[in-house]
Amino acid sequence: MSDNPEVRGLADLATDLAGTHRAADAGDRGVDPAVVESDLRTLTRDGHVILPDLLGAAELERIRGEALALLGPPGRNSFEGHRTQRLYSTLTKTRVTDRLVDHPRVLALLDRLLLPGYLLSQLQVINILPGENAQLLHPDDGFYPVPRPRRALSAATIWAIDHFTEDNGATVVVPGSHRWGDGRVPTDADPRCPSVMPAGSCVLFLGTLWHGGGANDSGSARLAVTAQYCEPWLRTQEAFTLSTPRDVARAVSPEIRRMLGYGIYPPFIGMVDGMHPERLLEGPPALP
């Protein structure tokens, strides 16, 4: 904490813990500002936007090779998918999805949607197998007890590791549903749009948008990675500070480390023993 004893309000504490390990101003993350503004306009209007061709063939092959080897049996219920494989605690098992989590095109949008210090809420690999039914439509931040209509408290990306087609389980979105109030749910009269896109692309959508995995009526599996993000003052879906070993936290990028909870939301949310959580990572890594 600062040596200055004059504290007249919580705002006076914002430069203490939160300023100890302050991240550099990222600007537009190296992305053309016109592109970011165009993405943001589409996202604001529709609740979702497709960001095309962000990953190359070699990187997709690396992700596919490692992810498929780590996947286990299908899900436990119809929401997870009885014919859908999911990989949880992904950061503890592989580094191949890291660049998806902190991709500049995604972060440039998140910087405009969420408060500084936003968190990674969930990271999964999802493989929809042939014969899977359509997932129940849902908004990702519907479990936060804040009345709608409202500003989204979270955002999500779904990355196409395989091509997303109308018949292989492409994520289905309900355009405009991010503006709906409490009690309204999708009906047959509401338009539904499959997120058809080439491998290497991602669809980014607001946490208030109704969406769900599509039915896989094709003869092939559909592999994807999803990363979800939330406001820094909310509890995340995955308890990353519990599930992620400190050696992994040291290995990921500073941006991902912050999103795992190794940061402070001013004035002191996220502190550990009165100190900035980055202090937990000081000193030599643990021996294998």
The confidence score (pLDDT) of residue 20 equals: 47
- Average pLDDT for 1-15: 57
Q: Report which listed range, 5-9, 14-18, 181-185, is most confident.
A: 181-185
Q: Which DSSP string do the residues of 81-107 spell out, in sequence order?
A: -TTEEEE-SGGGT-STTHHHHT-HHHH
Q: What is the pLDDT of residues 206-257, one digit of tens each?
A: 999 999 999 999 999 999 999 999 999 999 999 999 999 999 999 999 999 9
Q: What pLDDT, in 10s, does the model give residues 40-91? A: 999 999 999 999 999 999 999 999 999 999 999 999 999 999 999 999 999 9
Q: What is the pTM of this model?
A: 0.90
Residue 267 pLDDT: 87
201 pLDDT higher than 70: yes
162 neighbors 234 (Cβ within 8 angstroms): no
- Whole-number percent of the chain with pLDDT over 70: 89
- Mean pLDDT (the chain) is 92
Q: Give the Cα separation of 20 and 18 in Å (integer).
A: 6
Q: pLDDT category, 17, cuts 50, 70, 90? A: low
Residue 111 — very low, low, confident or very high, per pLDDT cuts 50/70/90? Answer: very high
Quote the pLDDT of residue 163: 98
Opening angle at CA 57, ends 175 and 29, nearest 5: 60
Q: 149 exposed, middle or buried (CB, 10 Å; 0-12, 13-18, 19+)?
A: exposed
Top-confidence residue, 10 or 120: 120
First to last CA, the chain: 34
Q: How far apart are CA 117 and CA 111, in angstroms?
A: 9
The predicted pLDDT at position 16 comes to 56
pLDDT of residue 28: 86
Is the per-residue pLDDT at 10 higher than 90?
no
